[in-house]
Structure 1
Amino acid sequence: MPDIFMLFVPLPFVVAVLLVVLLIQMIRRNDGSVTNPFFLALISVYALQSVVIGVRWGYNMLEILPLQAVLAVIIATLAWLSFEGLRTERPPTKRPLLLLHVLPTLLIIGLIAFWPAPISLTIIVIFAGYGIALCRLAWRGPDALGSSRLDGVISAYRALQITAFAIASSAIIDVVISWDFAESGGTHSGRIVAIGNVLAMLVLGAAATVAGTSRPEERIDTSAEEGALPVAPSGEDTDIATALDSLMQSRELYRDVDLNLNRLARKMGLSARQVSTAVNRVKAMSVSQYVNDFRVKEACRLLADTELSVTNVMFDAGFQTKSNFNREFLRVTGLSPKAWRANALARDNSGGTVIRLAG
């Protein structure tokens, strides 16, 4: 019986293909224009790293280890630059100290060339540093992502939380791998790397979510994002919240699908932190929830008073994705848009009162 040749395809190669598909979808969704290119770069490097991991552990090619180390540091750097870019609207070329983030990669390349001994420890320190920075950003709550569209900031915040956990965990995984090589010559490292690769898939899914994919999320309590206990609103907070209410009603800013916290703060001549704090304390919700409340109320008016399709209502009210629209509509009214319209029309035809918004 002739031998049957079977090509061994490591799982990381499959992961790399999936990541390339995600990358293509992101580019198409943005029509070739991307406001935060670091997310595209992050997924691209993850795809390349998956190939490298497949070659290393699938075919036992030790020569590729230096490239794996360099790519690992680039991933940690890009993860921070991607989410830090959602905090500010400044373009990459105008962000301060941007070039300093090249130093970790240059350091690893230098160690590979001249002093390989401390490479593992250096990578652990780099991952720990970026992991801590991401955790600090996540600790500030969703309003910290001031340049993220308010329609999708909750998804972006979830992505940030997952990424912060993944990068910080990578430092721990590297420690475990180093210990495994010291104790057993790397007997269990293959399994450890496999688990790490699954974790990378989660991070990439989160990055894709930030780029435009939304999914239902539960409400986030931001009342304690700056401390353990809610803080009573000051007179200034109340004044800001009142002025913001007036601005939202008179200029209908909620209709802007690209509205974000930074843009809202500029229109008021205040800092993003002042606006966020006032809304958190006075309204007991995040800025995204506050704006989406106005959008849902407008959607309810359109559903009751016009014959526009639900999709057109969604866009006219300021939402950009169905998932966010349905999630926020359910949060505010307790019903889906179609069910709300049906009930509103039934009440109207029977001479009753149109359903009031929940809360």
Structure 2
Amino acid sequence: MLQLPLAFVIALIATLIGAAVSVSRMPSPTRALLTAFFLMLAMMFILVGLRDGYGVELARFVQPVIAMLIQPTLYLAFNTLTEDPPTSAGKLLFRHGWPALFVAIFTGLAFMRPDVSLILVDIFIFPSLAFYTVRMFSLLRAGPDKFIRVTSQGYKLSIVGIIAGIGLFGFILVLEVAIFISRRLFSGGYSEFFVQVSIISIAVAMILFAFAAALYIARLATFDVGQKKERFIVGGGAHPSKKDNETINALDELLAERQLYRDSGITLARIARRLGQPARQISLAVNRCRQENFSRYINGYRVRYAQESLKTTDAPVTELMLEAGFSTKSNFNSEFSRVVGMTPSRYRSKHRPGH
């Protein structure tokens, strides 16, 4: 059978991705939740293989419970990048775990009344998928200043992951509706077909996503990218308050003295801890006083550092880029051109003729 080995292959791929995520440099809560997501995804496909390949009927009743846990896990993984500090595990379990508990109860009743329990499970699965798809969209629209626990490059990669998650949830929702209709109108005659389609589609999607992510990372590291219009968070256009001015002065002083901007891994959350102020207050102060988001504000410091180095040293541009705090050449070139109006090489030629 095609779907049995394919289901286990997908499970293996998901396990390997989860293992890679577990040793990554992501913030700890995000790393733990993403690892759990991929391991649960692997378990889902193992259950599919056991059910369809070996007739293990118990797998049919465990799958819905895991499905109810996968959705909040992926959403919370990205949401932890926007919180400082992240919400405690107990609160997360209370807020997002109760639907899975009810589904577990209903699937347990399936041994006695399978027709009723399956309907109750569907009643929970459909709105849950829709809810977390909407929540993922809200993260997509939040803007870079909301993601206080990642760098500017980390934010871009997070957006890729969020879009992939929205696609996954949307696909599963459509598939679940199709299976529901098949069960109710055609006595389940097309259910197995839809399951096979889902397995093959998700396998292809995972491969394509991995390939697209690799190309995206390579593009960031190699080529210049055009500037996009940045969105400020709500309140960014308001007139600066006295508190805003105090915050921006303290922030300017901290960055000038400590040169924290030269750390490519600096985040809004780390800066907030240094200043002892809420991350949102710092973000608002930057928006209102400098009319730009936090990422561009930090890059402005990096560009000015690079400008001085280009004028006074003969060090390679790539070396100066890293010293200034940029991690990719594309981001350095685009930000330098945005601030200065010319490329780093042209700037050096202008100020150090013959070098």
Give TM class, smaller chain: 0.7 to 0.9
The yes-or-no answer on 1:332 pairing with 2:339 is: no
The yes-or-no answer on 1:98 pairing with 2:92 is: yes
User: Residue 199 and residue 282 in structure 1: after superposition, are their counterparts in 2 closer, same or farther (change >3 A)?
Assistant: farther
User: Match of 2:113?
Assistant: none
**Hey, what's the Cα distance between the residues in 2 that align with 1:199 and 1:108?**
29
User: Match of 2:198?
Assistant: 193
- Specify the SS of the correspondent of 1:85: helix
Determine what percentage of the aligned residue pairs are the same residue: 25
User: Match of 1:176?
Assistant: 178
The CA deviation string for residues 119-141 of structure 1, in whole angstroms up to 9 with x for no partner, is 12211122223223333333322
User: Match of 1:357?
Assistant: none
* 1:43 and 1:204 in contact (8 A); partners too: no
**Hey, what's the Cα distance between the residues in 1 that align with 2:346 and 2:92?**
54
Mind listing any 5+ residue stretches in structure 2 that lack a counterpart?
A: 111-116
Picking from 44, 66, 80, the partner of 1:49 is 44
**Hey, what's the Cα distance between the residues in 2 that align with 1:103 and 1:15?**
28
**Hey, what's the Cα distance between the residues in 2 that align with 1:314 and 1:28?**
27
**Hey, what's the Cα distance between the residues in 2 that align with 1:205 and 1:82?**
19
With the length of structure 1 as denominator, give the TM-score of the two structures. 0.73
Once the two structures are superposed, the pairs formed by residues 309-328 of structure 1 within 5 Å of their partners are 313-319=320-326, 321=327, 325-328=328-331
**Hey, what's the Cα distance between the residues in 2 that align with 1:58 and 1:282?**
63
User: Match of 2:125?
Assistant: 123
Question: What amino acid does structure 1 have at the position aligned with 2:231?
Answer: S
User: Residue 96 and residue 68 in structure 1: after superposition, are their counterparts in 2 closer, same or farther (change >3 A)?
Assistant: closer
The CA deviation string for residues 55-90 of structure 1, in whole angstroms up to 9 with x for no partner, is 556777665322322221121121122122212243
Question: What amino acid does structure 1 have at the position aligned with 2:258?
Answer: R
RMSD of aligned residue pairs (Cα, Å): 4.0
Picking from 128, 140, 143, the partner of 2:142 is 140
* 1:125 and 1:171 in contact (8 A); partners too: no
The CA deviation string for residues 210-256 of structure 1, in whole angstroms up to 9 with x for no partner, is xxx786376553435549xx734434586244543343223212123
User: Residue 295 and residue 147 in structure 1: after superposition, are their counterparts in 2 closer, same or farther (change >3 A)?
Assistant: same
Mind listing any 5+ residue stretches in structure 1 that lack a counterpart?
A: 1-5, 353-359
User: Match of 1:253?
Assistant: 260
**Hey, what's the Cα distance between the residues in 1 that align with 2:71 and 2:232?**
28
With the length of structure 2 as denominator, give the TM-score of the two structures. 0.74
Question: What amino acid does structure 1 have at the position aligned with 2:175?
Answer: I
User: Residue 214 and residue 248 in structure 1: after superposition, are their counterparts in 2 closer, same or farther (change >3 A)?
Assistant: farther
The total of aligned residue pairs comes to 332
Question: What amino acid does structure 1 have at the position aligned with 2:44?
Answer: Q
* 1:139 and 1:225 in contact (8 A); partners too: no
The yes-or-no answer on 1:279 pairing with 2:286 is: yes
**Hey, what's the Cα distance between the residues in 2 that align with 1:39 and 1:309?**
38
**Hey, what's the Cα distance between the residues in 2 that align with 1:57 and 1:334?**
57
User: Residue 280 and residue 342 in structure 1: after superposition, are their counterparts in 2 closer, same or farther (change >3 A)?
Assistant: closer
User: Residue 205 and residue 7 in structure 1: after superposition, are their counterparts in 2 closer, same or farther (change >3 A)?
Assistant: closer
Question: What amino acid does structure 2 have at the position aligned with 1:189?
Answer: F
The CA deviation string for residues 264-315 of structure 1, in whole angstroms up to 9 with x for no partner, is 2333343222222333344444322321332344345446645656665454
User: Residue 63 and residue 95 in structure 1: after superposition, are their counterparts in 2 closer, same or farther (change >3 A)?
Assistant: closer
**Hey, what's the Cα distance between the residues in 2 that align with 1:7 and 1:195?**
9
**Hey, what's the Cα distance between the residues in 2 that align with 1:277 and 1:158?**
26
Question: What amino acid does structure 2 have at the position aligned with 1:126?
Answer: S
**Deviation, structure 1 residue 109:** 1.4
User: Residue 114 and residue 9 in structure 1: after superposition, are their counterparts in 2 closer, same or farther (change >3 A)?
Assistant: closer
User: Match of 1:77?
Assistant: 72
**Deviation, structure 1 residue 14:** 3.1
Question: What amino acid does structure 1 have at the position aligned with 2:270?
Answer: R
**Hey, what's the Cα distance between the residues in 1 that align with 2:6 and 2:130?**
27
- Specify the SS of the correspondent of 2:97: helix
**Deviation, structure 1 residue 110:** 1.0
User: Match of 1:355?
Assistant: none
**Hey, what's the Cα distance between the residues in 2 that align with 1:124 and 1:139?**
23
* 2:51 and 2:57 in contact (8 A); partners too: yes
**Hey, what's the Cα distance between the residues in 1 that align with 2:122 and 2:185?**
16
User: Match of 1:270?
Assistant: 277
User: Residue 59 and residue 193 in structure 1: after superposition, are their counterparts in 2 closer, same or farther (change >3 A)?
Assistant: farther
User: Match of 1:3?
Assistant: none
